[in-house]
Amino acid sequence: MAKKTIGIPRAMFYYVYFPAWKTFFERLGFRVVTSPKTTKEILDAGVREALAEACVPVKIYFGHVLALKDRVDYLFVPRIISINGETIYCPKFLGMADMVKSALPNMPTVLDVTVNKKRSRFSLFWASMELGRRLGKGSWATFRAIWAGWKVHRKYDRILKAGYTPDEAMDYVLHGKPLPVKQDEEGGETLRLALLGYPYTTHDSFISVEAIQKLKSLGVKVITAEMVSPRLLKRQAGKLVKGIFWTFSDITSKAAFHFFENAGEVDGIMHLTAFGCGPDFMVDKLMEIEAKKRGGKVPFMTLMIDEHTGEAGMLTRIEAFCEMVRRRKEAAV
């Protein structure tokens, strides 16, 4: 008998939890299906169906759901409120399952368990157990699948922290492919830049207009927020007048503050922000103020992306910033 399928959209949390989720569902005996990489067709479909005021990543998420929904038995859209018991995810994440269910017709069964570690330390565990139960699996089988998923997640996270992209890390942990040689090991880098933003924007090559690949082709070693260790991020806690309570915004701003404070670690910071993102209106301003407060020692630039962002414009801005940073660096020697 053919295995039942579970669809996981290649957007939003995909870049953080996909290896764990895939392992969990496969251990429970399901086949996991993902949507293809973002394309113009996926974006356009999302733009047509999502609320006009939604941010670009939410529109893209809708496009990925549309690309999957008729091919799977279940669609996994968890309602993750808090995973660390301290900060919460942006409200768009919280409402995603309800948004797709109410906006899109003929949906398969949506698996929308809630995870909120602010309510209970074991919320993730109980949500996973509930998933197993909804899928008709026993407690012991579910427990073993949770454990397998957790082990894969730890490995994946370690690879990300070591400086690899989600695609590279997934190829390694899920498909056993070797990790590529890092740029700094090849000796080709001339600049080190932090490209900060949410993982679903920086690592979605369509919506980021291949910012990472472009920077690499210019001889830049790219450091993203996921590569900064939690220990270093923690040191930045309390340096803001008020803590930021959205999880990804908290990580991004702490990573920026870390690089502003340790000016020698990078030659410049680029903040990749999506049009229509509420939290980023504040986070971007905070970064800009901090850059000025520190006398512009670390050059800072905001790259705003929206559904119309063109490749040529993006490349021009990236090249201009790299050129400016490179000249400053040479002048300082």
Report how far residue 152's alpha carbon sits from residue 279's, in angstroms, rounded to the nearest whole number. 30
Q: Write down the residue that tokens 């941010």 correspond to.
A: 55
Residues 92-111 that bind ligand SF4 (CB under 6 A): 92
Helix (H) or strand (E) holding 269: strand 268-274
Helix (H) or strand (E) holding 206: none
Name the residue nearer to ligand SF4 (CB basis): 55 or 325.
55
CB of 13 to ligand SF4, least distance (A): 10
Should residue 55 be labelled a site residue for ligand SF4 when binding is judged by CB under 6 A?
Answer: yes
Should residue 250 be labelled a site residue for ligand SF4 when binding is judged by CB under 6 A?
Answer: no
Should residue 278 be labelled a site residue for ligand SF4 when binding is judged by CB under 6 A?
Answer: yes
CB of 324 to ligand SF4, least distance (A): 27
Report how far residue 68's alpha carbon sits from residue 52's, in angstroms, rounded to the nearest whole number. 22
CB of 86 to ligand SF4, least distance (A): 17
Cβ 206 vs Cβ 224: under 8 Å: no
Q: Which of 280, 303, 305, 318 lies at the binding interface for ligand SF4 (CB under 6 A)?
A: 280
Name the residue nearer to ligand SF4 (CB basis): 13 or 25.
13
Name the residue nearer to ligand SF4 (CB basis): 267 or 284.
284
Stretch that binds ligand SF4, among 105-113, 208-216, 250-258, 273-281 (CB under 6 A): 273-281
CB of 280 to ligand SF4, least distance (A): 6
Cβ-defined contacts of 209-216 (< 8 Å, 24+): 209/305, 209/309, 209/310, 209/311, 209/314, 209/315, 210/311, 211/270, 211/272, 211/303, 211/314, 211/318, 212/165, 214/314, 214/315, 214/318, 215/318, 215/322, 216/183
Q: Is 120 left (phi over 0), alpha (psi -120 to 50) or beta?
A: beta
Stretch that binds ligand SF4, among 54-62, 72-80, 120-128, 233-241 (CB under 6 A): 54-62
Q: Which of 58, 196, 225, 266 lies at the binding interface for ligand SF4 (CB under 6 A)?
A: 58
User: Which strand ranges, in their side-by-side order, compose the sheet holding 5-8?
Assistant: 31-34, 5-8, 74-76, 109-111
Name the residue nearer to ligand SF4 (CB basis): 108 or 278.
278
* Burial (CB count <10 Å: 0-12, 13-18, 19+), residue 271: buried
3-state helix, strand, coil in the chain (%, to 5): 55, 15, 35
Helix (H) or strand (E) holding 309: none
Instruction: Phi first, then psi: give them for residue 95, nearest 5 degrees.
Output: -95, 0
Q: Which of 7, 9, 19, 57 lies at the binding interface for ligand SF4 (CB under 6 A)?
A: 57
Should residue 16 be labelled a site residue for ligand SF4 when binding is judged by CB under 6 A?
Answer: no
Cβ 174 vs Cβ 159: under 8 Å: no
CB of 256 to ligand SF4, least distance (A): 15
Q: Which of 274, 318, 322, 325 lies at the binding interface for ligand SF4 (CB under 6 A)?
A: 274
Should residue 169 be labelled a site residue for ligand SF4 when binding is judged by CB under 6 A?
Answer: no
Should residue 198 be labelled a site residue for ligand SF4 when binding is judged by CB under 6 A?
Answer: yes
Name the residue nearer to ligand SF4 (CB basis): 168 or 280.
280
Name the residue nearer to ligand SF4 (CB basis): 248 or 321.
248
List residues near ligand SF4 by CB under 6 A: 55, 57-58, 90, 92, 198, 248, 274, 277-280
